[in-house]
């Protein structure tokens, strides 16, 4: 029998590092939007309805250039396509009894960080756990935008920049323990990291959006893992 983690409070707790990391990024988004003449309420609404960093930043510059709606839709589609991959992966991790409308509601909160935490920490996750996990990051993402837009000098720069590493510290706490235990996860990780660093090194003459870089690295590394280490063998290690 699979264990379903479905405590709202556990989700809330797991969401704290994600929320803290979101504060500094959304603060920057709010600052950028307002300093470019976008009303603060528009910036806040965009954060609340989109909940994505790269997509919002690129949309901001497109909006300021008065780009066409088609161009905006297309760029959002490409930058955010990775969420489709994550949602697909999440279908195998959510409570089997979750109803269709509950899935549709939870889909709102599928971000890189929320997905990663929900899918790699527990065997299966339920709707209450997911709601708790999504709540605080959404609050921080929206509040950070508001604060960034309203008081651009509220938080000292040194503190704001120190919070930027919170998300990555949390990522390491998620990936290192399984990588320590399973050779297969270790190999997949090393390949994904190597590819990501390669793309970063080639960024000047190979300009690919960060969303696409993540898709390419993920498909290659996870495909490599699935090919060489099928899951049945993984569970017997």
Partner 1 sequence: MNNYLPYMVVMALVTYLIRMVPLTFFQKEIKSPFIKSFLFYVPYAVLGAMTFPAIFTSGGSVLASTAGCLIALYLAYKGKGLLSVAVAACIMVYLVDLIFPLLS
Which stretch, 1-9, 10-18, 132-140, 141-149, contacts partner 1 (CB under 8 A)?
10-18
- Which of 20, 31, 133, 134: binder of partner 1 (CB under 8 A)? 20
Output the smallest distance, CB 73 to partner 1, in A. Answer: 5
- Residue from 135, 150, 155, 222 that binds partner 1 (CB under 8 A)? 222
- Three-class secondary structure of residue 62 per DSSP: helix
Q: Which residues of 155-191 are buried (b: 16+ CB within 10 A; e: fewer)?
A: beeeebeebeebbeebbeeebeeebeebebbebbbeb
Q: Give the one residue of 5, 11, 17, 136 binding partner 1; rule: CB under 8 A.
A: 17
Contact call for residue 76 and partner 1 (CB under 8 A): yes
89 binds partner 1 (CB under 8 A): yes
Q: In 37-111, which ranges are continuous DSSP H helix?
A: 40-50, 53-64, 69-80, 82-90, 100-107
Query: Rounded distance, CA 60 to CA 50, Å?
Result: 12
Judge contact between 209 and 54, C-beta under 8 A: yes
- The nearest distance, CB 151 to partner 1, in angstroms, is 20
178 lines the binding site for partner 1 (CB under 8 A): yes
Site string for partner 1, 128-157 (x = CB under 8 A): ------------------------------
Number of H helices and E strands in the chain, helices first, is: 13, 2
88 lines the binding site for partner 1 (CB under 8 A): yes
Structure tokens given for 104 = 């549709």
Q: What number of chain residues touch partner 1 (CB under 8 A)?
A: 106
Q: Given the DSSP bridges, would you call strands 4-5 and 124-125 parallel, antiparallel or unpaired?
A: parallel
Tell me how far, at minimum, the Cβ of 64 lies from partner 1, in Å: 10
User: What's the sign of the alpha-carbon dihedral 153, 155, 160, 166?
Assistant: negative
Q: Does 16 bind partner 1 (CB under 8 A)?
A: yes
Q: Using the rule CB under 8 A, is 204 a contact of partner 1?
A: no
Q: Which listed range, 2-10, 115-123, 131-139, 143-151, lies at the site for partner 1 (CB under 8 A)?
A: 115-123
User: Both tokens of residue 210?
Assistant: 């960060």
Backbone angles phi, psi at 98, to 5 degrees: -65, 130
Among 10, 135, 174, 212, binds partner 1 (CB under 8 A): 174
């Amino acid at each position: 029998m699979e264990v379903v983690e479905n405590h709202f409070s556990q989700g809330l707790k797991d969401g704290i590092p994600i929320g803290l990391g979101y504060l500094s990024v959304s603060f920057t988004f709010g600052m950028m939007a307002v300093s470019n003449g976008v009303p603060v309420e528009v910036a806040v609404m965009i954060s609340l309805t989109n909940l994505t960093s790269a997509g919002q930043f690129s949309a901001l510059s497109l909006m300021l250039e008065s780009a066409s709606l088609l161009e905006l839709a297309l760029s959002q589609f490409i930058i955010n396509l990775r969420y489709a991959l994550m949602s697909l992966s999440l279908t195998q991790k959510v409570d089997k009894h979750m109803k269709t409308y509950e899935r549709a509601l939870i889909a709102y909160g599928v971000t890189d960080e929320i997905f990663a935490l929900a899918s790699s920490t527990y065997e299966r996750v339920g709707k209450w756990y997911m709601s708790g996990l999504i709540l605080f990051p959404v609050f921080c993402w929206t509040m950070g935008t508001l604060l960034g837009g309203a008081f651009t000098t509220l938080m000292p720069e040194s503190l704001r920049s120190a919070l930027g590493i919170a998300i990555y510290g949390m990522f390491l706490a998620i990936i290192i323990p399984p990588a320590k235990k399973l050779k297969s996860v270790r190999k997949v990780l090393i390949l994904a990291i190597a590819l990501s660093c390669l793309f970063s090194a080639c960024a000047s003459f190979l300009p690919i959006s960060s969303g696409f870089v993540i898709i390419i690295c993920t498909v290659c590394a996870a495909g490599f893992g699935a090919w060489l280490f099928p899951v049945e063998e993984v569970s017997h290690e």
